[in-house]
Structure 1
């Protein structure tokens, strides 16, 4: 690579402004040709497998399929530059596996550094080795939710689990209720239930997980079921089966 041929690149990010920024920065690299742009993980899998680019700019947090899931579905792994809002602990996994990252928000200088690393890999024809180890390390970080990353006013902001009042199922997504705010995350209730601390969070219904510290009281409603009242006045249904589990918290 890096002879007289163009470096073929694909941009993957669900935010148009993020793709626009990469396009702008790449305008200083005439040897790079953008062959496709994708706004979702599913689209990215199809286009990357069909086009087989040399370089892939890949956002991590996207609906339907995130960046990790996209990589797992690719027939061939190109040189990858991730866009990520993960903290330094997770970023080390990128560094030791010779893949690069752009920590949002990033500037042109940081972008240029990532491009130089990409050029070095393309010159040496270094394969995307240790990809499995990379994905496992990042999966481990995701499975221990020290924080969630949520979109607010076009930005990604950290949200600690203990700030969540309750969680509502929405098909393959979940809505995090934090005071008056609502944040949609691309995880199922089953996934969240497995990750959250069971000493603080409990699934009280097939569509509801509640922060136990937010409960004001639980009342029977006459048909054998119950209502959970939160301190902010929110009313939630408590299934009969889960009511039995809740009793273990009663002293």
Structure 2
């Protein structure tokens, strides 16, 4: 099955050139190309491409702001005329970084890297609304950018209109609601404890009896989360505790 590719660049000539350069790769299908950032965000959220070729220096919103606006990011190859963004691009775990004018050999290497990564990933394509554990989410917290594997998130904490995302030794803020994330993250992996917290079941260290038949969840990180009677009953049902 062909991999679905979307192109984003504020220069129409650059988009056309990239289409020509990608034409020999028969396993790739270009499902869209756009020179307007807002429209590209809308279409990428709708089409959910397997790979995005993304310019960085664009008017109104740069490539990193573009990624922040997406509901889901699979793989990204940055294409830009400015090499000063290279380090930041790899800080968000971009698959590759190509300088304009694009060298066909470098493009071929980037595509091969994408193929290798795609073939090693288990499972096929999915049209489900929920993200799978092997996906990543992009978080831009101030000047820092995070490309976070969902499986490494161990705790989510609601903070007003934001959610504090705990993974490894990081805890960036994501401009989404906890309810939104509850609907998007894999339900077999994440448990909504209460209005404030949701945690990853794989990171539970201990479960202790609490007041009035409730449970106290202790994560490997040391965080302690108390469940209501209703959620304690649900937790017992799910886990068999």
After TM superposition, the score normalised by the length of structure 2 is: 0.49
